[in-house]
Amino acid sequence: MNYKVMTKILLQTTIPFTENDWHIGRFSLLHEHLASLKDKNGDALYEIVARDIEKDEDGNDQVLSRLDESDFDELWLFAVDVGNGLTKADCAGITKFRQRGGGIFSTRDHQDLGSSLCTIGGIGAAHYFHSKQNDPDIERNCRDDQDTRNIDFPNYHSGANGDYQTIKAVGETHELLKRVDSSAIEYFPAHPHEGGVGVPADGDAARVVATGKSKVSGNDFNLIVAFDRKTDKHGNSCGRGIAESSFHHLVDYNWDVAKGCPDFVEEAPGDGYEKNPSALEDIKTYAANLAKWLAPER
pLDDT at 25 over 50: yes
What is the pTM for the complete model shown?
0.97
233-261 average pLDDT score: 97
The predicted pLDDT at position 1 comes to 42
The predicted pLDDT at position 5 comes to 78
pLDDT at 290 over 60: yes
85-110 per-position pLDDT tens digit: 999 999 999 999 999 999 999 999 99
124-147 per-position pLDDT tens digit: 999 999 999 999 999 999 999 999
Q: Can you state the angle between helices 281-294 and 28-36, rounded to 10 degrees?
A: 70
* pLDDT cut 70: percent of the chain above it: 99
Do residues 253 and 247 touch, judged by C-beta distance below 8 A? no
The predicted pLDDT at position 4 comes to 65
149-160 per-position pLDDT tens digit: 999 999 999 999
Q: How many CA atoms lie within 13 A of 215 on its CB side?
A: 15
pLDDT band at 297, cuts 50/70/90?
confident
Q: Distance between CA atoms of 165 and 186, rounded to whole angstroms?
A: 8
* pLDDT cut 90: percent of the chain above it: 96
279-285 average pLDDT score: 98
Q: Distance between CA atoms of 152 and 103, rounded to whole angstroms?
A: 31
The predicted pLDDT at position 203 comes to 77
286-294 average pLDDT score: 98
252-278 average pLDDT score: 97
52-87 per-position pLDDT tens digit: 999 999 999 999 999 999 999 999 999 999 999 999
pLDDT at 3 over 70: no
25: how many CB neighbours lie within 10 A of its CB?
14
Domains, the chain, ordered by start: 7-294 (3.40.50.880)
CA geometry: angle at 96 spanning 82 and 81, to 5°? 10
Average model confidence (pLDDT) across the chain? 96
The predicted pLDDT at position 261 comes to 98
